[in-house]
Amino acid sequence: MYENRSTPLLPRGKFYHRLARSLGFGLIVLSFSLLVGMLGYHAFEHLDWIDSFANAAMILSGMGPLGELKTSGGKIFAGCYALFSGVAFLTSFGLVFAPVFHRFIHKFHLESETDAKAAKKK
C-alpha cells in the first residue's frame, strides 16, 4: 500500500490525497461506531434518537453515559459498547495517522541511507 524503503518520498500532493483518504476511512469507522451506539441505546434503553446520539457520542469519546441506565439489557449493551468504542477509536486514530507516521519513518530512512552513502564515499 505504501512505498518501500528504496522508493523516493511521495510528493506532497499525493501525500495529502493519501491523508485525506485515511481521514475518510477513519470517519467511516467512527460514523459506523456512532450508529451502532445509537441503535443500541434506542433499542435497549428506549431512548429517543437525540438522547441515543448523545449517549453514544459520549461513550465513543470516552466521557461516559449521560444518564443512569435503567434496563439490564441497556447496562450490558453499554459495557460492550464501551469496550467496542475504545477499540474503534484507536483504530480510527491509527487509520488517520498511519500515513503521517509512515512518511516520517520513510524520510528518516532516506536521510540515514544518504548519510551512510556519504560516509562510504569518504
Per domain, the residue ranges of the chain are 12-96
Q: Which is higher by pLDDT, 6 or 31?
A: 31
pLDDT in tens, 95-116: 999 989 988 888 777 666 666 6
Q: In the structure grid, which three cell numbers stand for residue 15, read together?
A: 501525500
Q: Are 18 and 33 in contact (CB under 8 A)?
A: no
Burial class (CB in 10 A: 0-12, 13-18, 19+), 68: exposed
Q: Which is higher by pLDDT, 81 or 117?
A: 81
> How many whole angstroms separate alpha carbon 78 and alpha carbon 84?
10
Measured in whole angstroms, how far is the alpha carbon of residue 87 from the centre of its chain?
9
Which stretch of 9-13, 19-23, 83-87 has the lowest confidence by average pLDDT?
Answer: 9-13
